[in-house]
Amino acid sequence: MHANVKGFVAFALVPAFFFLGAFYVYPFVFNLDISATDLDIFQLRDGGRWIGLENYIELLTSPGFRRVMFNTVIWLTVVGVTVRIVLGLALAFLLDSRTIRAWRLSTLTRILLIVPWATPPVVAIVVWRWILDPRVGAANQFLMWLGFIDQPIPFLADANWVWPSIILIITWNTLPLVTLTFMASLQSLPGELVEAAEIDGASRTQLLRYIYLPHLKPAIIVMAMMSTFWTFNNFIYVWLTTGAGPGTFTNVMATEIYIKGFIDGRLGYSAAAGVVMAMIMTAFGMIYLRYVAARALVEEEDR
């Protein structure tokens, strides 16, 4: 009987493994094969000549690649994710505060919070490009009205402002999910624990350090890891906002793969960049799975 159940489960998983192989394994193997050739998009009929690791060597030794990795790892991922986590925590504490509940603003604030999240990224980018436009943008007009600046700032063309502007757009569009996750975790915190600490004379700093943050730690780690996955390989925000410009100043891994493959026509080189990107994401995934597995074991032992 037990063997029959195992056989049925294995048979039921066949479609899942089929789709996994069709949509993940096969494309990766195909991409790996292309990365070892000099395949050109303008000469597809001729096929690609086998060149081994030349694409990888060129990629990893290129001065431009160091800029691309810096933009992807530091600006897009580290800075972008950190800003979202910090602001998400601050907003979660604010929206879950007693003041908001006392004024009965909880429902309204949650609705307003969902609006950016419900906005498609393409629409959000178009709107923010208009807001940041140096000629008719509301941001420049408002800053000039306040007297902070004397002339319009080309936010998406100035090297000093372009990355903060991109991070602003990403944060506005994705911050609600982070905030709602932290709010859900806060609401699962036993109120008796907080009340007991307050009766014992705990200050707000002590409450934050010894009660709130330890309780939020699993949610913070999971959201940081998931935000890293979503951000590291993101293409749409950078490409639709700046087109990797000015010049190639905001070029990241995803836009580099697109530019090399579909603009320069170097499909082999683009495939090699894609393999490197996949390997980096695999490393992130292994760290994430290791954390999830370790947490599951701890919970199992606690039971």
Q: How does pLDDT run across 103-137, given as a tens digit for each residue?
A: 888 788 888 888 898 899 999 999 999 999 998 89
In a domain, 14, yes or no: no
Helices (H), 147-266: 162-187, 191-199, 204-207, 213-232, 236-242, 253-258
pLDDT of residue 9: 57
pLDDT of residue 181: 92
Q: How does pLDDT run across 170-194, given as a tens digit for each residue?
A: 999 999 999 999 999 998 888 888 8
Q: What percent of the chain shows pLDDT beyond 70?
A: 92
d(CA 158, CA 151): 13
Given a cut of 80, whether residue 301 has pLDDT beyond it is no
In a domain, 30, yes or no: no
Q: How does pLDDT run across 263-291, given as a tens digit for each residue?
A: 999 999 999 999 999 899 888 888 877 77
In a domain, 20, yes or no: no
Tokens 């007693």 -> residue: 98
The count of domains in the chain is: 1
Q: What is the CATH number of the domain that holds 150?
A: 1.10.3720.10
54-61 vs 267-302: helix crossing angle, rounded to 10: 80
Q: How does pLDDT run across 227-264, given as a tens digit for each residue?
A: 998 899 899 999 999 999 898 999 999 999 999 999 99
In a domain, 236, yes or no: yes
**pTM of this structure:** 0.88
pLDDT of residue 3: 55
Tokens 């056989």 -> residue: 7
In a domain, 280, yes or no: yes
Q: How does pLDDT run across 47-98, given as a tens digit for each residue?
A: 788 999 999 999 999 988 999 999 999 999 999 999 999 999 999 999 888 7
In a domain, 25, yes or no: no
pLDDT of residue 74: 95
In a domain, 13, yes or no: no
pLDDT of residue 114: 87
In a domain, 47, yes or no: yes
pLDDT of residue 163: 96
From 246, 238, 233, select the one nearest 274 (Cα to Cα): 233
Q: Which domain holds residue 192?
A: 35-302
Mean of the per-residue pLDDT values for the chain? 87
